Chains A and B, each alone.
Chain A
Amino acid sequence: MQGRAVNGSDEILAVDGVSVTLSGREILRDVTFHINAGEFTGLIGSNGAGKTTLMRVILGLLTPSAGTVRVESGSRGRSLIGYVPQRITLDPDMPLRARDLVGLGIDGQRFGLPLPSSMRRKQVDEMLDAVDATRFADSRVGNLSGGEQQRILIAHALISHPRLLLLDEPLANLDIGSEQEVVDLLARIARQQRIAVLISTHDMNPLLPVMDRIVYIANGRIATGTTAEVVTSESLTKLYGVHVDVIHVHDRILVVAGRREEALQHGGNESIVELV
């Protein structure tokens, strides 16, 4: 896998001027951002902002109406992207061990029956160890907790040695403890293996300690840069088109829109925070 960098730099992903219109509705407008190897990027936005659409465009599952997406050497080679989709329900009736699911990451797209191989087994064992999943490697995936399942899905995505790892809302439905574990794991993988991680979430707070770059998405448009550059009242007010306040409470950030009907908050509390 001798992929050349896009612009001579260490760039893994280049999204340039991407617009998507689905059945007459504009979902994304002129989205541009670049991601380098080993970078941890948060794709932040509320539900329906266009996060999943953007991920599908990057994966090549959706063709943009304008703009280009380049992954590493310019081709959209699938094995270069590891993907953890949103909200997979692993059925407890599915007779599949955690290690089987990880192994499918190597050759799940191939036809024919899998042949037992000690090399394949070793590869799976190493991957399970890397995501701290050895303990439940032989359990049925459907019986694992949300955090454990997420780690197995991450291992499934990583085992094919991608340069870019996309995760769609991997923190949804996790308790705070597993949330932190998954974030730490992903940050470690990004640093150690020089993999670019792009993770979508509606709550940026769990990512604040590890995020190198933020892609903030609202109304189909984005603002990008470091957290300090993007998550400010000025920049988000411009993005949302209504007045937005950014409030720092201890180590957390709350984003609050000024009008009731557009009240948005990304703080992690259940209640809507509203300013008059």
Chain B
Amino acid sequence: MVAFLSPLIEPGFFSNLPVQTALVVGGVVAVVSGIVGTFTVMRGQSFAGHSLADIGTAGGSAAFLLGISPLFGFVAMNLMAAGVMEWIGIRRPRGRDLATGIVLGAALGLAALFLYLDSTASSTTGATINVLFGSIFTLPSSMVPVIAIFSVVAAGIVLAMYRPLILSSISSDLATAQGVRVRLVGIGYLAALAVAVSLSAVTIGAILSTALLIGPAATALRLTNRPGRAAAFAAIIGVLATWLGVLLAYDSYYWFPSTGGWPVSFFVVTLIFVIYLASQIRFRARSGVQSRSTATEAA
């Protein structure tokens, strides 16, 4: 087995501490992103998910200035932004996207300032690159318990609200009539999303975290007709892409000694995209013949 894998796995992969941390953190974060992301896609909140990632850059870059872990900056900023988004976008059908856009614009302004200050405060561009594109190999292992706690919180919220979330994704009227407090479920979900996005931002970067949130979930929705399985598949796909990405990034150090290895985020995101394309081709082939049009849209 080891002999078979040796051409794929360059020496020292499993004994390397940053690699170990990256595998553990990447795996945990991919599971959370898969579970939360499945509901993001089902609820049509991909824009909010992506925006929270961008908004978080203001928090992540501010954390750098304060000398604390960017994760805390991301979480604080995202929870705050989620609160403001919920407050502005109350109950209007299109209000949600509008509110997201307004908060996104304001936060990116702050991010521009903080990232500028980051780059003037230190002589390198490390902070900017870390915040935007992730830093899974530079995560201190002391952050592992913190990441684990945030992960349990985000996944726990979503799993606890599993059924009310599905009902309110179908129709808020239907859910309300059945006794679901739709507003509360929406707020709880947005909080879980804010935390999940923060976790994937410190793993593969703020800009790329949407890929980990949406990609595996969108793929999983094609593979099964059951919501629970979709969440499980999304988690598995995310973990596989992340672990394989970490491996390829590690290996790439040996392939291209002159550049010192390519960024892990590039590999993870590319793998997720390739998996999505493959599922899309399979889905088209399978549903092409039997797909029936629904007449529910006209009115």
Residues on A with C-beta less than 8 A from B240 are none
For B290, the closest partner residue in chain A by CB is A143
A interface residue count range (under 10 / 10 to 19 / 20 to 34 / 35 or more):
35 or more
Q: Say yes or no: B171 contacts A88, CB within 8 Å.
A: yes
Q: Does B75 contact A (CB under 8 A)?
A: no
Docked Cα-Cα span, A138 to B169, in Å, equals: 20
Q: Does B110 contact A (CB under 8 A)?
A: no
**Contacts A89-B296, A108-B167 known; A100 to B226 CB distance under 8 Å?**
yes
Query: Residue B225 contacts which of A59, A104, A109, A138 (CB distance < 8 angstroms)?
Result: A138
Q: Does A196 contact B (CB under 8 A)?
A: no
Q: Does B177 contact A (CB under 8 A)?
A: yes
Q: Does A87 contact B (CB under 8 A)?
A: yes
**Contacts A85-B171, A138-B225, A143-B292 known; A110 to B298 CB distance under 8 Å?**
no
Q: In angstroms, how far is the closest chain B Cβ from the Cβ of A104?
A: 6
Q: Does A8 contact B (CB under 8 A)?
A: no
Q: Say yes or no: B225 contacts A95, CB within 8 Å.
A: yes
Most chain A C-beta atoms within 10 Å of own C-beta, residue among B161, B176, B291:
B176
Q: Does A124 contact B (CB under 8 A)?
A: no
Q: Does B179 contact A (CB under 8 A)?
A: yes
Q: Say yes or no: A111 contacts B299, CB within 8 Å.
A: no
Q: In angstroms, how far is the closest chain B Cβ from the Cβ of A58?
A: 10
For B230, the closest partner residue in chain A by CB is A95
Query: Residue A144 contacts which of B44, B169, B230, B294 (CB distance < 8 angstroms)?
Result: B294
Q: Say yes or no: A108 contacts B294, CB within 8 Å.
A: no
Q: Say yes or no: A81 contacts B167, CB within 8 Å.
A: no
**Contacts A61-B176, A109-B163, A113-B162 known; A100 to B295 CB distance under 8 Å?**
no
For A77, the closest partner residue in chain B by CB is B179
Q: Say yes or no: A85 contacts B296, CB within 8 Å.
A: no
Q: Say yes or no: A145 contacts B163, CB within 8 Å.
A: no
**Contacts A85-B177, A100-B227, A104-B167 known; A173 to B298 CB distance under 8 Å?**
yes
Q: Say yes or no: A111 contacts B295, CB within 8 Å.
A: no
Q: Say yes or no: A145 contacts B160, CB within 8 Å.
A: no
Q: Could you tell me how many residues of chain B have their Cβ less than 8 Å away from some Cβ of chain A?
A: 41
Residues on A with C-beta less than 8 A from B221 are 93-95
| Chain B residues numbered 154-175 whose CB sits less than 8 Å from any CB in chain A | 159-164, 166-167, 169-171, 173-175
Residues on A with C-beta less than 8 A from B169 are 94
Q: Does A231 contact B (CB under 8 A)?
A: no
Q: Say yes or no: B166 contacts A111, CB within 8 Å.
A: no
Q: Does B42 contact A (CB under 8 A)?
A: yes
Q: Does A140 contact B (CB under 8 A)?
A: yes
Q: Does B139 contact A (CB under 8 A)?
A: no
Q: Say yes or no: A95 contacts B295, CB within 8 Å.
A: no
Q: Say yes or no: B162 contacts A143, CB within 8 Å.
A: no
Query: Residue A92 contacts which of B170, B220, B226, B294 (CB distance < 8 angstroms)?
Result: B294
Residues on B with C-beta less than 8 A from A142 are 294
Q: Say yes or no: B178 contacts A96, CB within 8 Å.
A: no
Residues on B with C-beta less than 8 A from A94 are 42, 169-170, 221
Docked Cα-Cα span, A93 to B299, in Å, equals: 21
**Contacts A104-B167, A109-B180 known; A95 to B226 CB distance under 8 Å?**
yes
| Chain A residues numbered 128-184 whose CB sits less than 8 Å from any CB in chain B | 138-140, 142-146, 149, 153, 156, 172-175
Q: In angstroms, how far is the closest chain A Cβ from the Cβ of B136?
A: 29
Q: Say yes or no: A146 contacts B296, CB within 8 Å.
A: yes
Most chain A C-beta atoms within 10 Å of own C-beta, residue among B163, B169, B177:
B177
Residues on A with C-beta less than 8 A from B294 are 90, 92, 142-146, 149
Residues on B with C-beta less than 8 A from A153 are 174
Q: Say yes or no: A174 contacts B295, CB within 8 Å.
A: yes
Q: In angstroms, how far is the closest chain B Cβ from the Cβ of A173?
A: 5
Q: In angstroms, how far is the closest chain B Cβ from the Cβ of A158?
A: 13
Q: Does A112 contact B (CB under 8 A)?
A: yes
| 11 A-B contacts (beta carbon < 8 Å) | A78-B177, A78-B179, A81-B177, A93-B221, A95-B42, A109-B175, A111-B161, A142-B294, A143-B292, A156-B174, A173-B299
B residues bordering A, Cβ < 8 Å? 38, 41-42, 44, 159-164, 166-167, 169-171, 173-180, 220-221, 224-230, 287, 291-292, 294-299
**Interface pairs A-B: 8 shortest CB-CB:** A83-B177, A85-B173, A95-B230, A146-B295, A108-B167, A109-B179, A88-B171, A140-B225
**Besides the known contacts A104-B167, A173-B299, 6 further A-B residue pairs in the complex with CB atoms under 8 A apart:** A86-B173, A95-B38, A100-B227, A143-B287, A143-B294, A145-B292
